[in-house]
Structure 1
Amino acid sequence: MKWQLRQLTHYVIAPHLPESLILDFDSTVETVYGNQEGAEIGVNSNKPGRKSYHPLLVFEGQSRFCLNGVLRPGNTHSSTHAIEFAKTTLELLPSGSNVKFARFDKGFGGEEFYRFWEQKRIGYVGKLKWTKRLQDAISSCNHWKRYVDEDIVIEGITLIYQATTWKKPRRVVIIRKAERFDLDQLQLYDFLWEYEAIVTNLDGSPIDIWRFYNQWASVENSIKEAKNGFSIHAIASSDFEANEVDMLIKLFTYHLFQRFKKDCCDPIHQGFTIQRFRQDFLQVAGILVSHSRTAILKIADCFSNRWILEQMIVRVAQLE
């Protein structure tokens, strides 16, 4: 049933997937309040010490459709079974799909994960944990290129770096940022730098790689919408398999809403969250009356979005 649900989801979203796909990987924590099967104590910043699930999700970076999701115990690391998950996601995509890039944070990665994308000839950008070894590697670098020279200063360099667990060197982009500050009207240039490291197999300047990676952050908004709007974090059963099916069904309704916005809404409304849509179009005063054995919904005259809602209804009918 789970595989059929995933296939049905791809049938719904396929018409709106771009020609070149970007896979954005992330995980989230779903706290449970009981002894649900598979729930374990793991990293849980919101409810430390509580049992939880740790779903793994992948979104398409431009359309924001969720391409795949799997439920895991709460004590599972972000990267656990990530390669198998990536393989399943690629299998779900229509034949001939062009996966161009993959993006992920420092919870993922490692030699096998990087090698997987390299063997598939898919470009990737992944955040690296900042370590003393990385700090030592840049300590002798004196030729930083400055990209932004305003209130926030941004500089970057590129290293060919090999972590202790890697089998070969890889390209690593280092970005450092600092705020300017004044003292006695003299500009001080001894900045307090904040460093970020990104491993990649892509060409491009450090600032371009960094900006491309930062677009990954929008996946967190998509997960927030799936949670707050469609309750994927609400655990419905004590059975692990049932809870995973429940999550996939809720993700399917998330996709139906995304398709509805793209097919039936004006551009100004396509960025609405489900909460905003409910507030503007569904939470409206009205009365249901019966006349000649026909139920009629009479909406309050003060409803300012009546014409827009009627246009949406017409477009829905035209889809048939």
Structure 2
Amino acid sequence: MKSSTKMVNLPIEYSSKPVTPFGGMSLMKRFIDQVGIREKLEALNLPQPGSNRGYDPKQIVESFWLGIWTGASRFIHCDWLRYDQVLHSIFGWDTMPSQSTYSRFFGKFSQSLNTEIFPDLQHWFFDQLNIGSLTVDFDSSVITRYGDQQGSAKGYNPNKRGRNSHHPLMAFVEQTRMVANAWMRPGDTAASSSCKEFMEETFKQVLKDKEIGLVRADSGFYTEELMSYLEEEQLNYIIAVKMYPNVKSEVWAIKDWIKLAKGIELSEMTFSHENGKPRRYILIKKQIEIRPNSGGKMLFEDEPGYRYSCYVTNMDLPLDQIWNMYNNRADCENRIKELKYDFGLENFCLQDFWATEASFRFIMVAYNLMSLFRHFALNHHNWATLGTLRSYCFALGAWTASHANKKVLKISLPTKRRPWMEGIFAQISTLNNPFKYSNA
């Protein structure tokens, strides 16, 4: 006999009691208090409101970060939090900015103001970290735009061919999985355009008090100017090589290959790029049949079963070590994906180019704060993405109540998970600058 399940609809009632779905954001509130970034924002030359009733610029920036951390991927999404009275209480605010407030605030930024504020802010941030020798990865990305915003233009766009885009530059620090620096560029910008100036700002301002052990970069940074600059600064580098015809002909002439593993062979050559001095080039040859998922490019019609990769370096380490050191750079691609999927990197866009860049660079700081939080507050969960953290420890129902004439935040959490939550609060309360990273 088949059993039947009777559909039961629960009665609906309404309550005016303020409740937040993000009670776990009290963790981030206490964390940024410990970091002290609010005091740094106070010292920056942030655009001021036009009237006495305007929002404090520090609150606008913090509210923007809070919107991102809770899932906003557009400015209009930040309006959701304007009605969350409990979240206002957690952060000590009476109200939160509207979409138009963000637009007006970021619209006051200019090229000169961005150049003044963000290197200073990022330098302060990395000055709080005790890291040791750094590996800095330079990369570029493509952000597709669906309008005629300033700087959006048709250029290299592999995913949306023919669409307008922006073409930003980013610098990552491997040891902390953070963004050291970021610039927005027009979509029709050449891959190597402004790269030297970007490197100079990164090394001379953002990371000026840090030791740089290694610089890695994709083929967009393969120019004589950049290699000469890094050598003048006495920085070790490994840069992916663009397979220009003259490079391909040199690779084709190589006959001596060293077998590293099944389907992988290594070699090296000395080559001069664009009338530059001779440099060391590392070559990797991968057999497609044995290594079907390997990276690289098929260079020769007479040898269709192989893919090649090539790197230029000023280091004297063994071939396989150079290749392995460069392969670790792949993690920055994961950082870009997380910035796009979880931090709304592609969608916070305004009509003015410098306004868009300002929001873009503040997103990088939001990302760094979250990276710092998950490393020092969460311990064994420090590799979790923001999407995971949002569902794991931020999306907790909460409300406020009065107890002994004191407002208390009540977080809905099963009894057996409460010691875990209390442990995170305790961990945050003991944090002190500088935050020490281990290079082990």
Secondary structure in 2 matching 1:170: strand
TM-score, normalization by structure 1: 0.87
Secondary structure in 1 matching 2:387: helix
State which of 421, 428, 437 in structure 2 corresponds to 1:309. 421
Secondary structure in 1 matching 2:268: strand
Distance 1:45 1:295, change over 3 A: farther
Match of residue 46 from structure 1? 159
Match of residue 217 from structure 1? 330
Q: Does 1:275 align with 2:391?
A: no
Distance 1:138 1:30, change over 3 A: closer
Q: Does 1:162 align with 2:272?
A: yes
Distance 1:242 1:179, change over 3 A: closer
Match of residue 24 from structure 1? 137
Deviation at residue 229 of structure 1 after TM alignment:
2.1
> What are the equivalent positions in structure 2 for 1:178-217 lying under 5 Å apart?
178-179=287-288, 192-217=305-330
Match of residue 288 from structure 1? 399
Deviation at residue 28 of structure 1 after TM alignment:
1.1
Q: Does 1:173 align with 2:282?
A: yes
Spell out structure 1 runs of 4+ moving beyond 6 A.
none
**Kept in 2: contact 1:281–1:305 (CA 8 A):** no
> What are the equivalent positions in structure 2 for 1:193-272 lying under 5 Å apart?
193-266=306-379, 268-272=380-384
Residue type of the partner of 2:283? Answer: I
Q: Distance in 1 between matches of 2:118 and 2:253?
A: 53
Q: Distance in 2 between matches of 1:93 and 1:289?
A: 41
Distance 1:22 1:288, change over 3 A: same
Distance 1:304 1:69, change over 3 A: farther
Match of residue 318 from structure 1? 430
**Kept in 2: contact 1:51–1:74 (CA 8 A):** yes
Deviation at residue 27 of structure 1 after TM alignment:
0.9
Residue type of the partner of 2:369? Answer: L
Distance 1:80 1:191, change over 3 A: closer
Secondary structure in 2 matching 1:146: strand
Residue type of the partner of 2:338? Answer: E
Distance 1:212 1:290, change over 3 A: same
Larger C-alpha radius of gyration, 1 or 2?
2
Residue type of the partner of 1:234? Answer: N
Secondary structure in 2 matching 1:6: helix
Secondary structure in 2 matching 1:107: helix
State which of 61, 72, 75 in structure 1 corresponds to 2:174. 61
Residue type of the partner of 2:164? Answer: K
Deviation at residue 238 of structure 1 after TM alignment:
0.7
Give the gaps of 5 or more residues in structure 1.
182-189
Q: Distance in 2 between matches of 1:303 and 1:52?
A: 49
Distance 1:141 1:6, change over 3 A: closer
Deviation at residue 12 of structure 1 after TM alignment:
2.1
Q: Give the structure, 1 or 2, with the largest relative contact order (CA under 8 Å, sep 6 or more).
A: 2
Secondary structure in 1 matching 2:255: coil
Q: Distance in 1 between matches of 2:135 and 2:431?
A: 28
TM-score, normalization by structure 2: 0.65
**Kept in 2: contact 1:288–1:295 (CA 8 A):** no
**Kept in 2: contact 1:103–1:216 (CA 8 A):** yes
Distance 1:306 1:28, change over 3 A: farther
Q: Distance in 2 between matches of 1:95 and 1:74?
A: 29
Instruction: Note the alpha carbon deviations across 1:251-297, whole angstroms, 9 max, x for none.
Output: 1111111121233222x11111111111111223x352533565544
**Kept in 2: contact 1:178–1:191 (CA 8 A):** no
Distance 1:85 1:308, change over 3 A: same
Aligned identity (percent) is: 29
Match of residue 98 from structure 1? 211
**Kept in 2: contact 1:41–1:50 (CA 8 A):** yes
Give the gaps of 5 or more residues in structure 2.
1-112, 291-302, 433-440
